[in-house]
A and B are shown apart, each in its own frame.
Chain A
Amino acid sequence: MQVMSKINRRSSFWVSLISVVLGLLVGAIAMIAAGYSPILAYGALFQNALFQPYDLGETIRTISPLILTGLAVALAFRTGLFNIGVEGQFIMGQLAAVIVGLKLHLPPIVHALVAVIAGGLAGAIWAYLPGLLKAKRGVHEVITTIMLNFIALYLSNVLVRTWLTSGADSTDRIADTASLQWSVLSAMFGGARIHFGIIIALLMAFVMYYLLWRTKLGFELRAVGYNPHASEYAGMRVDRNIILSMMISGFFAGLAGASELLGTQGYLAIQGGFTGIGFDGIAVALLGGNTPIGVVLSAVLFGVLTYGGTNMQFAAQVPFEVIRIVFAAIILFVAANVSGWILGWFRSLKKGRGA
Chain B
Amino acid sequence: MLNTLTNVLQTTVLYSTPLILAAMGGLYSERSGVVNIALEGLMTIGAFAAAVTTIFTGNPWLGLLAAMVAGILFALPHAVASITFKADQVVSGVAINFLAFGLSVYLVKHLYNGEAQTPVVQETLSRMPIPGLNSIPVIGPALFNAFPTTYLAFVIVAASYFILYYTPFGMRLRAVGEHPKAAETAGVSVIRMRYVAVMISGALAGLGGAGLSIAIGSEFNQSTVAGQGFIALAALIFGKWHPLGAFFAALFFGFAVSLALIGQLFGWTQYVPSEVLNMLPYVLTILALAGFVGRAEAPAAIGKPYEKDSR
The answer to whether A and B come from one shared complex is yes
Interface residues of chain A, those whose CB is within 8 Å of chain B, are 3-4, 7, 30, 34, 82, 84, 129, 133, 137, 139-140, 142-144, 146-148, 150-151, 154-155, 157-158, 161-162, 272-273, 279, 282-283, 286, 317, 319, 321-325, 327-329, 331-332, 335-338, 341
Nearest A residue to B287, CB-CB? A147
Task: Give bound CA distance, A332 to B86, whole Å.
Answer: 11
Q: Can you pick out 15 interface pairs between chain A and chain B where the beta carbons lie within 8 Å of each other?
A: A7-B88, A7-B91, A82-B90, A84-B37, A84-B90, A137-B290, A147-B230, A147-B285, A154-B275, A161-B273, A279-B98, A321-B105, A323-B102, A324-B98, A337-B85
Q: Classify the interface of chain B: helix, strand, loop or mixed.
A: helix
Task: Give bound CA distance, A4 to B285, whole Å.
Answer: 26
Question: Could you say which of A158, A286, A325 contacts B102, with CB atoms under 8 Å apart?
Answer: A325
Interface membership of B127, Cβ < 8 A: no
Nearest A residue to B307, CB-CB? A2
Task: Give bound CA distance, A279 to B227, whole Å.
Answer: 14
Task: Give bound CA distance, A327 to B94, whole Å.
Answer: 11
Task: Give bound CA distance, A162 to B106, whole Å.
Answer: 36
**9-residue interface stretch from B152-160, B163-171, B276-284:** B276-284
Task: Give bound CA distance, A272 to B223, whole Å.
Answer: 8
Task: Give bound CA distance, A273 to B105, whole Å.
Answer: 15
Apart from the given pairs A137-B289, A332-B87, 11 other A-B contacts in the complex at a CB distance below 8 Å? A34-B107, A142-B90, A143-B285, A273-B222, A282-B91, A323-B102, A324-B99, A325-B103, A331-B95, A336-B87, A337-B85
Residues of chain A within 8 A (CB-CB) of B233 are 143, 146
In the complex, chain B residues 181-197 whose Cβ is within 8 Å of any chain A Cβ: none
Known A84-B94, A279-B94, A328-B96; contact A158-B276, beta-carbon cutoff 8 A: yes
- Interface Cβ pair total, 8 Å cutoff: 144
Question: Could you say which of B37, B282, B290 contacts A139, with CB atoms under 8 Å apart?
Answer: B290
Residues of chain A within 8 A (CB-CB) of B88 are 3-4, 7, 82, 335
Q: Which of under 10, 10 to 19, 20 to 34, or 35 or more describes the interface residues of B?
A: 35 or more
Interface membership of B16, Cβ < 8 A: no
Residues of chain A within 8 A (CB-CB) of B103 are 30, 321, 325
Task: Give bound CA distance, A283 to B230, whole Å.
Answer: 20
Residues of chain B within 8 A (CB-CB) of A272 are 223, 226
Interface membership of B101, Cβ < 8 A: yes
Question: Could you say which of A82, A154, A279, A282 contacts B276, with CB atoms under 8 Å apart?
Answer: A154
Interface membership of B294, Cβ < 8 A: no
Known A158-B276, A161-B273, A319-B106; contact A331-B227, beta-carbon cutoff 8 A: no
Interface membership of B286, Cβ < 8 A: yes
Task: Report yes or no: B286 in contact with A158, Cβ–Cβ below 8 A.
Answer: no
Task: Report yes or no: B105 in contact with A133, Cβ–Cβ below 8 A.
Answer: no
Task: Give bound CA distance, A146 to B232, whole Å.
Answer: 12
Task: Report yes or no: B37 in contact with A154, Cβ–Cβ below 8 A.
Answer: no
Task: Report yes or no: B91 in contact with A322, Cβ–Cβ below 8 A.
Answer: no
Nearest A residue to B284, CB-CB? A147
